[in-house]
Each structure stands twice: as structure tokens, then as C-alpha cells.
């Protein structure tokens, strides 16, 4: 099941650079999908980061996950699903500073 999820989410990132996704962890009990990405995330434009995060959220929801967390290679939370609304919350667009 996790391999199928990884394949589906991984297909979304191929257009942005091979190997962006390093690892995927699924917690079925809490309904949370955690996607670990490499630092090439920080090389993407803001628009591409938004698009990629949105597509990952759509895919996670289609697989019945209520929450999506995207972390970088150091474990920093880069983006998370919204509590209210429909758009992903991007917390880090560059490796040096948060976008809060």
C-alpha cells in the first residue's frame, strides 16, 4: 500500500525534477501522510512550489489522508495541509528563512 502511494505521489514530482521525494511515511491511524523531499524544493519557483504542494494534497486526499506534511532532508516542516481552507500552507520557500 505504501509503495503504491509513493508511486502515485512520486509521479507528480517527475516534472519538477527526478528524485525530489526522498521518503513517504503513511500513518493510517491518524490519517497523516508525511512526504520527505530533498533540497531541490528550494530551487523551485514559488508558483511551482504552490502547484506541487497542491497536487500532493489532492493526491493525499484522494487516498483518504486528512493531513499532509512535507518536510525537507533535515526534517524541517516545509509545508502542511490547511486546517481551514483548501490551499497548502507553505512554511519555508528557501532554506534560509521561513515565509511567515
* CB within 8 Å of 83: residues ≥ 6 apart: none
The total number of structural domains that make up the chain: 1
Q: List, for residues 24-66, the tens digit of each pLDDT value.
A: 888 989 999 999 999 999 999 999 999 999 999 998 898 889 9
Residue 14 pLDDT: 65
pLDDT of residue 22: 86
Instruction: Give the sheet arrangement for strand 67-71, strand by strand.
Output: 21-27, 32-37, 67-71, 77-80, 89-90
Examine residue 76 and state whether it is found in any structural domain, yes or no.
Answer: yes
With beta carbons less than 8 A apart as the criterion, state whether 20 and 9 touch: no
Please state, in angstroms and rounded to a whole number, the distance separating the CA atoms of residues 32 and 97: 26
Decide if 96 is inside a domain: no
Domain that residue 45 falls in? 17-90
Residue 38 lies in a domain: yes
Q: What's the chain's average pLDDT?
A: 86
pTM above 0.85, yes or no: no
What is d(CA 35, CA 60) in angstroms, rounded to the nearest whole number?
10
Amino acid at each position: 500500500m505504501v509503495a503504491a502511494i509513493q508511486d502515485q505521489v512520486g509521479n507528480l514530482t517527475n516534472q519538477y525534477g527526478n528524485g525530489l521525494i526522498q521518503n513517504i511515511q503513511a500513518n493510517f491511524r491518524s490519517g497523516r501522510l508525511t512526504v520527505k523531499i530533498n533540497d531541490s524544493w528550494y530551487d523551485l519557483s514559488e508558483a511551482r512550489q504552490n502547484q506541487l504542494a497542491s497536487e500532493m494534497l489532492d493526491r493525499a486526499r484522494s487516498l483518504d489522508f486528512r493531513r499532509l506534511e512535507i518536510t525537507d532532508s533535515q526534517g524541517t516542516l516545509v509545508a502542511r495541509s490547511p486546517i481551514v481552507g483548501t490551499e497548502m500552507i507553505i512554511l519555508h520557500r528557501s532554506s534560509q528563512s521561513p515565509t511567515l
